[in-house]
Amino acid sequence: MIEQQPPGETQGNNIPDCLLEARQLWRDYDGHVAVRDLDLELRRGDVLGFLGPNGAGKSTTMQMLSGNLAPSTGSIRINGIDLLDEPAAAKRQLGYLPEQPPLYPELTVSEYLDFCARLHGVARSERGRAIEAAIERCDLGDMRNRLIGQLSKGYQQRTGIAQAILHDPAVIILDEPTVGLDPIQIRDIRALIRELGRDHALLLSTHILAEVQETCSRVLMIHHGRVVHESRLDALDAGVQYRISGSTLPDDGTFRSLAGVAAVERVSPERVILTLDSEPPRVLAQLAAKEWGISEFTPQHRNLEQLFVELTARDTEGAA
Amino acid sequence: MNAGLAITRRELLSLFVSPLAWTILAVVQFIVAWTFLVQIDVFIGLESRLARLEAPPGVTDLVVTPTLSNAALVFLLVTPLLTMRLLAGERRGNTMQLLRAAPISTLQVVLGKFFGVYIFLLALLAMLVLMPLALLAGTDLDLGKLASGVMGLALLLAMLTSAGLYLSSLTRQPAVAAAMSCGLFLLLWLLNSGGHGDAVTGFISLAGHLQGMLRGLFTTADVGYFIIATLLFLALTVQRLDAERLQR
């Protein structure tokens, strides 16, 4: 049943294993549109980083996907089951960790997980094993008989994650899972997220861009309630900009006349940044044929932060 | 239905690991026991004079009925303490999102919560009933009258629990829910005090419907009043929670 698929190898539109699918989601509150026309798709093995500035409609979207809020229009399918038509069956496939972990401080970790297992309809015969597996995965073994209210923030967060993965859901939604943790705990949780991503579909909302770069296979940015960017992270990494240094570089016009070059940015007389719209080797071959004393041809990694700032700033200007 | 049971189980577990439940059990038991002993004392004092009457009121009328009536008053004050956190507390602790993301209907949540507190209150009532039953060792009781009174209290508790549950669904603050519940209960109790109200207040008033049952008068109208009120508040709670998911 569990298909091992390393992140980065799901391809194309043949939807073999679409676990979470949202179509044309709209949500408005009293005339104010919080989310408009949002499409989202998650396959097994996907870890989708869900980004957006505060107030972009991120938490509204998370609440809709987790069944906490009904969308104004649109549909959500979890593992092929419509969330609005058959909420109980769809939610059985869903694990959700809200921003504040939903814990009962007066219970012990194992009492709490037992309650969650019953709540999610885990069969009696499976319950013990499911709880043990979740405790082990989240490294809660020493804490199982401690009161949740007396645990540190890090362990509380892990208990929250244990609750979300307990019933082995197809889709796991985590809202800012590493907020308030120390660096070691953050590292552990990120490792856990990557591990979970192998056989589940994960949606991860966060403000920490480095976290997305480290754990996610795809990224989706929303701003003013609509999707402004969606890509695979490896595609983002490869980049389309190249830095070229040479002792006798020609003027910008000459660069622009090369096939495959979309834009030229002059950094200094000896250095330009080219934006390519075709395969790099083609351009490289042309450059190599010229006698411009070229000593460097380096891909420019557009990092997530630049992209984030660009997209959100541009859209603000557009809306203003 | 299992998920609803899970909620009931968790409510009871949370109650019994907190000092609140034990404190309430102890305090209620103490107060009712005190009034019970006072009634017995009064009865013993009156006994010689009662013997001269032609059809004297029995120990059931003079001890059991007043004790149950006092218990009803204590319930009015205690139930809000138990129902206040039912939903307001879930909101505050963010666990509402856990329940909403779980494969469980709103009705199951509401019934699970209701029974979580109701079962506790029935246990409390059962412990109180042991006091009048203890009189069986020394005298005869009118068991029919006692049963009618206990049924009345059980129905009263169902109504108080569901009303408290509904008021708890309206707010994030358990204390606000408790204040509203206390206010509502006292209002319903005092609405027709002294029999000065009109037909409408007479019908809505709690005390009127309860007193009949405590005296052994078990009528469809009174039973219907409590059952309808309980169902109404449960339906309102479901409606309120569903509305929240749709619009905010």
pLDDT tens, residue by residue, B122-162:
999 999 999 999 998 888 888 999 999 999 999 999 999 99
- Output the CA torsion B160→B166→B169→B175 (10° steps): -30
Contact A29 B94 (CB under 8 A): no
Chain B contact set for A126 (CB, 8 A): none
Chain A contact set for B100 (CB, 8 A): 66-68
Contact A69 B5 (CB under 8 A): no
Q: What is the mean pLDDT of residues B17-36?
A: 94
Query: Residue B101 is nearest to which of A66, A103, A115, comparing CB atoms?
Result: A66
Task: Pick the residue of B98, B104, B107, B242 with the most A CBs within 10 A to test the interface with A by mutation.
Answer: B98
Query: Residue B94 is nearest to which of A94, A98, A121, comparing CB atoms?
Result: A98
3-state secondary structure B58-124: CHHHHHHHHHHHHHHHHHHHHHHHHHCHHHHHHHHCCCHHHHHHCCCCHHHHHHHHHHHHHHHHHHH
Q: Which long-range contacts (CB under 8 A, 24 or more apart) does A246-250 make?
A: A246/A270, A246/A292, A246/A293, A246/A294, A246/A295, A246/A296, A247/A292, A247/A293, A247/A295, A248/A291, A248/A292, A248/A293, A249/A292, A249/A293, A249/A294, A250/A290, A250/A292
Chain B contact set for A119 (CB, 8 A): 3, 6-7, 98-99, 102, 104
Please give the pLDDT value at position A236.
60
- Asked if the C-beta of B243 comes within 8 angstroms of chain A's C-beta atoms, the answer is no
- Asked if the C-beta of B104 comes within 8 angstroms of chain A's C-beta atoms, the answer is yes
Contact B13 A111 (CB under 8 A): yes
Task: Provide the token pair at A244.
Answer: 């070229």
Contact A68 B101 (CB under 8 A): yes
Chain B contact set for A86 (CB, 8 A): none
Chain A contact set for B102 (CB, 8 A): 91, 116, 119-120
**pTM of structure:** 0.83
Helix/strand/coil percentages in chain A, nearest 5: 35, 30, 35
Contact A106 B247 (CB under 8 A): no
* Count of other CB atoms within 10 angstroms of residue A309: 12
Share of chain B above pLDDT 70, in %: 97
Amino acid, single-letter form, for residue A175: D
For residues A135 and B52, the model is more confident at: A135
Query: Residue A67 is nearest to which of B10, B101, B247, comparing CB atoms?
Result: B101
Residue A167: closest C-alpha in chain B: B102
Q: Determine the distance in angstroms separating the CA of A132 from the nearest CA of chain B, rounded to an integer.
A: 19
DSSP A108: B
Q: Which of B8, B31, B223 is nearest to B110 (CA)?
A: B8
Contact B2 A121 (CB under 8 A): yes
What is this model's ipTM? 0.89
Q: Looking at chain B, which runs of residues are DSSP E strands?
A: none
Contact A88 B96 (CB under 8 A): no
Chain B contact set for A96 (CB, 8 A): 97-98, 101
With a cut of 90, say whether residue B74 has pLDDT above it.
Answer: yes
Task: Pick the residue of B11, B18, B91, B97 with the most A CBs within 10 A to test the interface with A by mutation.
Answer: B97
- Distances, alpha carbon A227 to alpha carbons A26, A35, A51, B57, B157, in Å: 12, 9, 10, 80, 52
Please give the pLDDT value at position A1.
40
Task: Provide the token pair at A302.
Answer: 């557009």
Intervals of chain A under pLDDT 50: 1-15, 317-320
Please give the pLDDT value at position A2.
44
Please give the pLDDT value at position A239.
53
pLDDT one-digit tens code per residue, B83-94:
999 999 999 988
Average pLDDT, chain B: 91
Q: Which residues pair with A244 in a beta bridge?
A: A272, A297
Cα–Cα distance between A269 and A246 in angstroms, integer?
9
Please give the pLDDT value at position A164.
94
- Distances, alpha carbon B144 to alpha carbons B60, B202, B215, in Å: 10, 26, 10
pLDDT one-digit tens code per residue, A154-165:
899 999 999 999
Contact A118 B5 (CB under 8 A): yes
Contact B102 A100 (CB under 8 A): no
Q: How many A-B residue pairs are in contact by the CB < 8 A criterion?
A: 84
Contact A87 B97 (CB under 8 A): no
* Count of other CB atoms within 10 angstroms of residue A284: 16
